[in-house]
Structure 1
Amino acid sequence: MKLATWNVNSLKVRLPQVLDWLGDNPVEALCLQELKLADDSFPLDAFTEIGYRAKWAGQKTYNGVAVITKAECSDVQRNIPDYEDPQQRLLATTLDSPVGAIRVISAYCPNGQAVGSDKYEYKLRWFGALRAWLERELQRYPRLAILGDYNIAPADEDVHDPAKWEGEVLVSEPERSAFRDLIGLGLTDAFRMFEQEEKTFTWWDYRRYAFRRNAGLRIDHVLLSEALRPYCAACVVDRKPRANEQPSDHAPVIATLDWARAPA
């Protein structure tokens, strides 16, 4: 089973690229972020035509998340329960697998804008609410994967120029601490389970030829629960879509789960 995440920065603009990517990469589940579409504008038919189903939480102009799957999913949860928030940032679904039900969550975590701003404080509160909910969710679904744009580079190795970014939003210590709090629930950063090429990033600014210079950050992640970790056989970043004409500023991240790997 392959699970992927991709912040597409407008599904309306990037739909042909997403469909082409799925044709070349027939993953079992693709978590999308920043749809920037109202619910009634979601292009369900386009995915149905290529053999996929979809669940989504849309929002006009901003935010929005979806989970695109080959098989039907169940127990759909929109946003963090008991956390009042008009922004559409999270969608949880349940998929069947040979080892039992898997909870697959697409998350578009707040950016934070600037350290010390109201949006930064909202970001930290949101992560606190996310952690509290995930702690409960893991009790219901021990096999859980939360994929998305976390808007946090967890360590200096995830930043093209750590000195330049020191103390800035996306890399500040409170944000990194919030990420570690998620890991503390027993989650694993799938990408760091494997030896990776240095300076592998998932996001590059549109400005100043950042992609050409590989001046990026690794802020898109696949976190796996302890019950799924033994099955993870690979986790890679696909840089190719970032080189498209009119690309998203993010690249997809793909984790492969191999059911033959875990001990009996």
Structure 2
Amino acid sequence: MRIATFNVNGINGRLPVLLRWLEETQPDVVCLQELKASDDRFPAGSIEDAGYGAIWHGQKSWNGVAILAKGREPVETRRGLPGVEDGQSRYIEAAVGGVLIGGLYLPNGNPAPGPKFTAKLEWFRRFRDHAADLLRQDVPVVLAGDYNVMPTELDVYKPERWQKDALFRPEVRAEYAQLLEQGWTDAIRHLHPGERIYTFWDYFRNAWGRDAGLRLDHLLLSPDLKPKLKAAGVDRHVRGWEKASDHAPTWIELKLPPGGRQGL
């Protein structure tokens, strides 16, 4: 099973890029972020024509998340985190092929310090609490999305320039580390422990051409999925397409039995 995450940075404006990538790679499950579209503006027909069922939690500006599944409808289990009623569309969850998929778009948090940074930390803590609850359910889980955090200096080009940014502040990196301490596996870092792998390149200063990137998009696996992880990577070339998002699709390959795990 191939599971991917892709911050599309405006699904309607970049729909040709998304559809081209879906046709090229045929992932089984895709978590999308930053739809920038209200629910009624989600391009469900085009997604269906591409062979994917979808659930989505839209928002007109900045936010919005979705889960796509090839040849089937994701079975929605949750939208929004428990106890969070902030009017923002940042989390959606579904069962697909025997795996529980959590798709997320964590707040940016800039400027830091400040109210937005405080809200980011609070959202992260609630997400971490929910992640712990998922582990207690003893089901296979993938938490995929744009975490808006660079976990280590290996995940950022020239880290000295990012010391004061909310994406690299020690408080945010500590939250991510505590998430991993629950038992989650960072798929990219597990298979590529010493490589500088990026998933985001700014539109300015030829960042993509210089490979001046950041690793913001992560797929975390519950303990029972760790031994089933066979590959992980970034479709970096997509960032170079015309009208591309500033993020590139990030993906994992899991070796699962036909039909996935029963009972979910």
Matched ranges for 1:47-58 at <5 A: 47-58=47-58
Give the 3 Å change call, closer, same or farther, for CA 196–13 of structure 1 in structure 2: farther
> Counterpart in 2 of 1:38?
38
Aligned length in residues = 256
Deviations 1:152-176 (A, max 9, x none): 0000000100122223221110000
**Among residues 199, 210, 218, which one is paired with 2:207 in the alignment?**
210
163-172 or 202-211, which deviates more: 163-172
Matched ranges for 1:5-44 at <5 A: 5-44=5-44
> Counterpart in 2 of 1:230?
227
Matched ranges for 1:68-83 at <5 A: 68-70=68-70, 71-83=72-84
User: Are 1:61 and 2:61 matched, yes or no?
Assistant: yes
**Which amino acid in structure 2 is aligned with residue 24 of structure 1?**
E
Q: Counterpart of 1:203 in 2: which secondary structure?
A: coil
TM-score, with length taken from structure 2: 0.94
> Counterpart in 2 of 1:123?
120
Deviation at 1:140, TM superposition (A): 2.4
Query: 2:94 & 2:110 partners in 1: Cα distance?
Result: 29
**Is the Cα contact below 8 Å between 1:102 and 1:141 reproduced in 2?**
no
**Among residues 217, 221, 229, which one is paired with 1:220 in the alignment?**
217
> Counterpart in 1 of 2:102?
105
Q: Counterpart of 2:223 in 1: which secondary structure?
A: coil
Deviation at 1:196, TM superposition (A): 6.4
**Which amino acid in structure 2 is aligned with residue 3 of structure 1?**
I
**Is the Cα contact below 8 Å between 1:6 and 1:251 reproduced in 2?**
yes
**Which amino acid in structure 2 is aligned with residue 14 of structure 1?**
R
**Is the Cα contact below 8 Å between 2:185 and 2:221 reproduced in 1?**
yes
* Ranges in structure 1 where 5+ consecutive residues have no aligned partner: none
**Is the Cα contact below 8 Å between 2:59 and 2:89 reproduced in 1?**
yes
User: Are 1:89 and 2:86 matched, yes or no?
Assistant: no
Q: Counterpart of 1:136 in 2: which secondary structure?
A: helix
TM-score, with length taken from structure 1: 0.94
Q: Counterpart of 2:61 in 1: which secondary structure?
A: coil
Q: Counterpart of 2:248 in 1: which secondary structure?
A: coil
| Structure 1 segments (4+ residues) deviating >6 Å | none
Query: 1:150 & 1:257 partners in 2: Cα distance?
Result: 21
Give the superposed CA RMSD.
1.3
**Which amino acid in structure 1 is aligned with residue 93 of structure 2?**
A
**Is the Cα contact below 8 Å between 2:55 and 2:76 reproduced in 1?**
no
Give the 3 Å change call, closer, same or farther, for CA 199–8 of structure 1 in structure 2: same
**Which amino acid in structure 1 is aligned with residue 115 of structure 2?**
D
How many percent identity over aligned positions?
A: 39
Q: Counterpart of 2:12 in 1: which secondary structure?
A: helix
